[in-house]
Amino acid sequence: MINIDPVKALDDKVERLKKDLKSLTARIDNTQTDAAQQQLSTTNQLRDTNRKLTKTNDRITELAESVHRLERLLVALNRKVRAGETQKADFDDWPEITKAEIAKILAGQDAYARKTFTQQEAKNTRKAIAEYDRAALIAIDAAEALTTLPPNAESLWRKKYDQWRTITRRTRPEAPDDNTHASDTVAKSAGNEAIAQARQKIRARIEDAVARDLLFPAWFENMLGPAAPPGKAGDWLYTATDVVLYRLLHDVTSPADALGSPPQEQGHRRTLHDRLVVECADYRRP
Partner 1 sequence: MAADPFARLADRQHALRTALRALQAAGPGSPDFPSLVAETDKEVTAVMEARRDVEAARLATPNRALAAATTTAALIVAVGWFDAWSLLSLLLATATAAAVLVDPTGRHLLEPRARTTAITAALIATVATPLAHGWATAITAAGIAWWAWRTLK
Binding site for partner 1 (CB under 8 A): 132-133, 136-137, 140, 143-144, 146-148, 151-152, 154, 157-158, 161, 164, 167-168, 171-172, 175
Q: How far apart are CA 224 and CA 206, in angstroms?
A: 12
168 or 264, CB closer to partner 1? 168
Q: Report the nearest approach of partner 1 to the CB of residue 214 (Å).
A: 53
Instruction: In angstroms, give the least distance from the CB of 140 to partner 1.
Output: 6
CB of 99 to partner 1, least distance (A): 29
Q: Based on CB atoms, which residue is closest to partner 1, 31 or 171?
A: 171
Closest distance of CB 136 from partner 1, Å: 4
3-state secondary structure the chain: CCCCCHHHHHHHHHHHHHHHHHHHHHHHHHHHHHHHHHHHHHHHHHHHHHHHHHHHHHHHHHHHHHHHHHHHHHHHHHHHHHHHHCCECCCCCCCCCCHHHHHHHHHHHHHHHCCCCCHHHHHHHHHHHHHHHHHHHHHHHHHHHHCCCCCCCHHHHHHHHHHHHHHHCCCCCCCCCHHHHHHHHHHHHHHHHHHHHHHHHHHHHHHHHHHCCCECCHHHHHHHCCCCCCCCHHHHHHHHHHHHHHHHHCCCCCCCCCCCCCCCCCCHHHHHHHHHHHHHHHHHCC
Rounded-to-integer distance, Cα 255 and Cα 262, Å: 16
CB of 183 to partner 1, least distance (A): 18
Considering the complex, what minimum distance in angstroms separates the CB of residue 187 from partner 1? Answer: 21
- As measured in angstroms, the least distance from the Cβ of 157 to partner 1 is 6
Nearer to partner 1, 148 or 264 (CB): 148
Which CB sits closer to partner 1, 147 or 261? 147
Closer residue to partner 1 in complex, CB, 85/154: 154
Give the nearer residue to partner 1 in terms of CB position, either 69 or 123: 123
Of 106 and 136, the one with the shorter C-beta distance to partner 1 is 136
